[in-house]
């Protein structure tokens, strides 16, 4: 899934689609996730710069918007960073607040299971917009979806996450990876070829690391070798 910033002629539609995906996701979750998503939506609609992918707002201002104290702001922002929805582009320094960005690809991957709650027209539009694989130059490669993976252990759990997000990409690039070894927080996976390893490392590394971290929070790095 390749996601560009919603700018240009269709920017308004893309923005509403992203907001709709977030709302559908939040409404399908428990009250704690619902509140977290609603708070993120408030930041997006009041302070987010779509064209530059920038969110700059101090903790005091966020606390006032959310009607909470600053400790709650710190805790909720940490949750959004841990989910990889919110990225730190520039850390706060004296006299200057933190600058954040949104990982729109990660947000769309995480909200994808709830797209059907919006309707088939939404799914079709989103898949038409984002179906091209990263680095493919916009060409659609018709990989067939594969069955959900089974098994136990770290890599098996990460594979299930990747399959849920996008079964076609899982079948094309992740299914054939094999867990080779683990050294502390670093997981090494073996690919069937050097090209395969290079492609995953170049275009899908972030998605791979997120799945592993969600299966085991102690994972800090992943390496794919041919």
For the stretch 54-111, pLDDT in tens is 999 999 999 999 999 999 999 999 999 999 999 999 988 888 899 999 999 899 999 9
145 DSSP assignment: P
* Per-residue model confidence (pLDDT) at position 141: 44
pLDDT tens per residue across all 226 residues of the chain: 556 677 666 788 889 999 999 999 999 999 999 999 999 999 999 999 999 999 999 999 999 999 999 999 999 999 999 999 999 999 888 888 999 999 998 999 999 989 999 999 998 888 776 654 444 433 444 445 577 777 789 999 999 989 988 888 888 889 999 999 998 999 999 999 999 999 999 989 989 999 999 999 999 999 999 8
CB 138 within 8 Å of CB 132: yes
Would the pTM of this model clear 0.85, i.e. be above it? no
Yes or no: say if 130 and 2 are a contact pair by the CB < 8 Å rule: yes
Tokens of residue 51, six digits: 């064209």
- Looking at residue 146, what is its pLDDT? 73
What pLDDT sits at residue 151? 78
Strands (E), the chain: 48-49, 54-56, 86-90, 99-102, 178-183, 186-190, 221-225
> CATH 3.30.300.180 spans which residues of the chain?
147-225
Long-range contacts of 146-151 (CB under 8 A, 24+ apart): 146/170, 146/171, 146/175, 149/175
CB atoms within 10 A of CB 177: 22
Protein fold of 147-225: GMP Synthetase; Chain A, domain 3 (3.30.300)
State the sign of the Cα–Cα–Cα–Cα dihedral 42, 215, 28, 113.
positive
State the distance between the two ends of the chain, measured CA to CA, in whole angstroms.
23
Whole-number Å distance between alpha carbons of 164 and 154: 16
Please give the pLDDT value at position 136.
41
Q: What per-residue confidence (pLDDT) applies to 4? A: 62
Vertex 172: Cα angle to 167 and 173 (nearest 5): 100
Distance between CA atoms of residues 210 and 221, nearest Å: 10
Q: Would you give the distance in Å from CA 95 to the centre of its chain?
A: 31
Identify whether the C-beta of residue 144 lies closer than 8 Å to the C-beta of residue 168: yes
CATH 1.10.10.10 positions along the chain are 11-106
Residue 154: which of 110, 108, 188 has the closest Cα? 188
What's the CATH number of domain 11-106, 3.10.20.600, 3.40.50.720, 3.40.800.10, 1.10.10.10? 1.10.10.10
């Amino acid at each position: 899934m390749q996601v560009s910033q919603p700018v240009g002629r269709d920017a308004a539609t893309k923005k509403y689609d992203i907001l709709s995906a977030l709302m559908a996701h939040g409404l399908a979750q428990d009250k704690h996730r619902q509140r977290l998503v609603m708070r993120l939506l408030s930041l997006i609609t009041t302070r987010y710069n779509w064209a530059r992918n920038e969110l700059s707002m101090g903790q005091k201002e966020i606390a006032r918007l959310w009607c909470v104290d600053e400790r709650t702001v710190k805790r909720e922002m940490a949750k959004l960073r841990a989910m990889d929805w919110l990225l730190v582009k520039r850390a706060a320094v004296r006299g200057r607040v933190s600058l954040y960005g949104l990982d729109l690809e990660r947000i769309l991957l995480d909200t994808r299971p709830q797209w059907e709650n919006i309707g088939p027209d939404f799914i079709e539009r989103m898949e038409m917009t984002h179906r091209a694989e990263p680095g493919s130059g916009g060409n659609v490669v018709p990989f067939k979806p594969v069955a959900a993976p089974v098994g136990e252990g770290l890599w098996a759990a990460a594979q299930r996450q990747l399959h849920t997000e996008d079964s076609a990409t899982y079948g094309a690039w992740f299914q054939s990876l094999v867990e080779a070894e683990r050294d502390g927080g670093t997981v090494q996976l073996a690919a069937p070829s050097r090209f395969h390893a290079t492609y995953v490392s170049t275009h899908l590394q972030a998605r791979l690391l997120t799945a592993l971290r969600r299966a085991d929070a102690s994972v800090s790095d992943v390496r794919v070798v041919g």
